[in-house]
Homo-oligomer: A and B are copies of this chain.
């Protein structure tokens, strides 16, 4: 165990697409656990699109990261010290904080993990926040019915892959949009979507071919040109599950959106959600999805980069669509693999 902590802090607010110089490495003493806290040694750090909002400095549903602060992030790791009876040294848990090797966090915020149940990394992906995002978005807004057509943006990503597979299980025709031929092949062949569309091609005609009955549910992770192509193809009573708009996160001024007249004519429902509002549904989500993952009926893919120092580059790659599957940073060897 090293004597010191290491973290990535926000050096400068990005202007448009982040660059490595917006981040800096800082070293410091190992954190001390307060009463009721545990210190987690990180094994996996999750990189997710929402982090772009946190470092922008814009007040939103969450407090922005201040300059000099460690970047927000969710970590799976191993307890190295505990001042709470519920956790012991050596326990695996999800809920560590930030782009850093060690964090001291309230034990009540940690989710103990049993490596025999599922790989511990899945607590950051298919069985964690991204998987639950897909589940909640479909449960509360998308509500796909058998025979309906569901289009999922960023379909090979951590959220999209789960959303599409769950919609498929609900009996819908599911069409994924992804970037590049390899991801499209994965979506159609491995994840079992009915069709996959490369957003680098001519999206409109491709959507027309893949969705001959129009679109009833759009799971929005992307915004931009994908949203523009999908919107006019929505059917009457269609639902837009507004989950993310990663293609616009680096915009310095907002693009115009669709004219809302169609919302009336077609009785559309466009609704946003934030998964953390639904913490009380975590048990329901796990109960529904964990058995599918264990049985191999719900597939997932991880894209793991090595070492905390790689986090900024990997995060920039995520914003550019360069990752392929749930993006994780390995902070230390995973003793359970």
Contacts and interface: CB of A to CB of B under 8 A. Distances in A.
Interface stretch (A162-170, A199-207, A259-267): A259-267
Interface string A226-251: 01000000001000101111001000
A269 B244 CA distance: 15
B272 A263 contact: yes
Nearest to A61: B265
Contacts of A220: 260
A272 B236 CA distance: 10
Given A269-B269, A271-B271, A272-B265, A61 B260 contact: no
Contact of A259 (B255, B267, B274): B255
Given A271-B268, A271-B269, A271-B270, A223 B263 contact: no
Contact of A267 (B53, B260, B272): B272
A235 to B, nearest CB: 12
Interface in A254-313: 254-274, 277
A141 B243 CA distance: 20
A336 interface: no
A259 B256 contact: yes
Instruction: Report the 3 A-B pairs with minimum CB-CB distance, sorted nearest first.
Output: A256-B256, A254-B259, A264-B272
